[in-house]
Amino acid sequence: MSNFDELINDDAWRLVDVIVPSDEAELAADFLWGLGVVAIEEITNNDTVVLRTSLGENPQSSVAIIREKFPRVAVTTVDIDRSVADTWREFAEPTHVVDDVYLVPAWLEGPVGCRSLFIEPLDTFGLGNHPTTVLALRLALQNVAPNSTVFDFGSGSGVLAVGVASLLSCTSLAYDIASSSQDALRMNAIRNNVNTCLWVTGFPDVQVDAVLANILSPVLIAEADNICSAIRPGGVIVLSGMREDQVDNVLRHYSSCTERQRIELDGWVAVALQKTN
């Protein structure tokens, strides 16, 4: 058995039921997508909606964030046999990023003649096919210099960190509050034959050339000073995870930067900034 295979858990899949009042269901679902979940099943029950999804084998940190954002929710967990839970994998397909670059589920073949980034999502973080991840990787490939040092803040399954390491020959530092993301990063680095992805605990000790942050807008605001401090003068910051009506408020907290590029997909926006001082 390969190192890659050993990282996959063949037991039960732990799902989370987020039970919300009907009038908060859409906002709560958007919030979960912003956390990078693979899929959401919506179950309507009178005046409430159950949003069933996966937040990994240790969902406590994400559940705490959800409860803080939505005080009226109830959260429970349920374990489902993996042979049933993984049926979604049959319908997964490659996702186009930019030019000839595709995000490809690790169990599929990549499109012929294209550059493929193979992603095993584990139970938490998705394939990278959510618009926020596609936008962030697209901007990273267009704005980050090859062979630079990059910090992926809120790395999830490591799509961005592994992507720039594989496609731009960067050295990638990665961190996420979810403990299982370290295994996801290691797995996807192995799958894509890169050895320049390093896990760090929190922000790096030295300034880097680029920071990639695909996280929710409240976190982009709360961590703005730390993100800007982690970047050398002239370095690039890629911010993703914002809805259209959140962008201006987020960017007010990045006054030490100028905007280089802004792109949108399905109501989500990502912005590339350059630190000026």
Read off the pLDDT of residues 73-125 as tens digits, 9 standing for 90 and up. Answer: 898 887 776 665 566 677 788 999 999 999 998 889 999 999 999 998 775 55
Q: How many CB atoms lie within 10 A of CB 80?
A: 14
* 80 to 51, 131, 170: CA distances (angstroms): 15, 27, 38
Instruction: Give the pLDDT of residue 37.
Output: 67
What tokens were used for 41?
């099943």
Q: Is the pTM of this model over 0.85?
A: no
- The greatest distance separating any two alpha carbons of the chain, rounded to the nearest whole angstrom, comes to 55
Contact (Cβ atoms closer than 8 angstroms) between residue 110 and residue 102: yes
Read off the pLDDT of residues 123-151 as tens digits, 9 standing for 90 and up. Answer: 555 567 788 899 999 999 999 999 999 99
Q: Which domains does the chain have, with CATH numbers?
A: 3-85 (3.30.70.120), 128-275 (3.40.50.150)
CB under 8 Å to 36, separation ≥6 — which residues?
A: 124, 125, 126, 130, 132, 133, 156, 157, 214
Instruction: Give the pLDDT of residue 93.
Output: 87
Neighbour-count burial for 211-244, b at 16+ CB within 10 Å, e otherwise: bbbbbbbbbbbebbeebbebbeeebbbbbbbbee
Alpha carbon distance 245, 242 (integer Å)? 8
Nearest to 238 by CA among 264, 210, 216, 219: 210
What tokens were used for 272?
């590339």
Nearest to 158 by CA among 126, 112, 205: 126
User: What is the mean pLDDT of each successive set of 10 residues along the chain, which is 277 residues long?
Assistant: 43 79 86 72 87 74 84 83 64 90 92 94 66 94 98 92 97 87 92 96 95 90 95 97 92 97 94 94
Mapped onto helix, strand or coil, the DSSP state of residue 76 is: strand
What tokens were used for 15?
């799902």
Instruction: Give the pLDDT of residue 205.
Output: 93
Nearest to 232 by CA among 248, 267, 208: 208
Contact (Cβ atoms closer than 8 angstroms) between residue 168 and residue 97: no
Contact (Cβ atoms closer than 8 angstroms) between residue 189 and residue 162: yes
The number of C-alpha atoms within 13 Å of 141 and in the hemisphere containing its C-beta is 20
Contact (Cβ atoms closer than 8 angstroms) between residue 128 and residue 167: no
Phi-psi region of 142 (alpha: psi -120 to 50; beta: other; left: phi over 0): alpha
What tokens were used for 149?
């040092």
